[in-house]
C-alpha cells in the first residue's frame, strides 16, 4: 500500500500551489486538505459527500 502520509503531503503541496495561482485563501486550502484527509480515512465518503463537504466550506465561513 502506498504511504498515506506521502500522498497526503503531495496533495497538500499541490493544493497550496493551485490555491495561490487561483487566489484562494490559505484557510480554504487548509480546508481542502482536511476534506481530502477525511476522504482518505473514510472509504464510504463518495463523490456526493465530497462535493457536499467542499460546498459546505462556504457555510463554515
Q: Which residues bind other proteins (CB under 8 A)?
A: 1-7, 10-11, 14-15, 18-19, 22, 24, 28-29, 32, 35-36, 39-40, 43, 45-48, 50-51, 54-55, 57-58
d(CA 19, CA 45): 23
Q: Please, what is the minimum distance in Å from the beta carbon of residue 23 to other proteins? A: 9
* Residues contacting 55, CB < 8 A, separation 6+: none
d(CA 36, CA 12): 9
Q: Please, what is the minimum distance in Å from the beta carbon of residue 51 to other proteins? A: 4
Q: Please, what is the minimum distance in Å from the beta carbon of residue 46 to other proteins? A: 6
Amino acid at each position: 500500500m502506498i504511504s498515506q502520509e506521502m500522498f497526503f503531503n503531495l496533495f497538500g503541496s499541490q493544493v497550496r500551489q493551485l490555491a495561490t495561482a487561483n487566489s484562494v485563501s490559505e484557510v480554504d486550502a487548509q480546508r481542502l486538505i482536511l476534506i481530502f484527509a477525511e476522504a482518505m480515512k473514510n472509504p464510504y465518503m463518495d463523490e456526493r459527500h465530497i462535493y457536499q463537504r467542499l460546498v459546505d466550506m462556504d457555510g463554515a465561513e
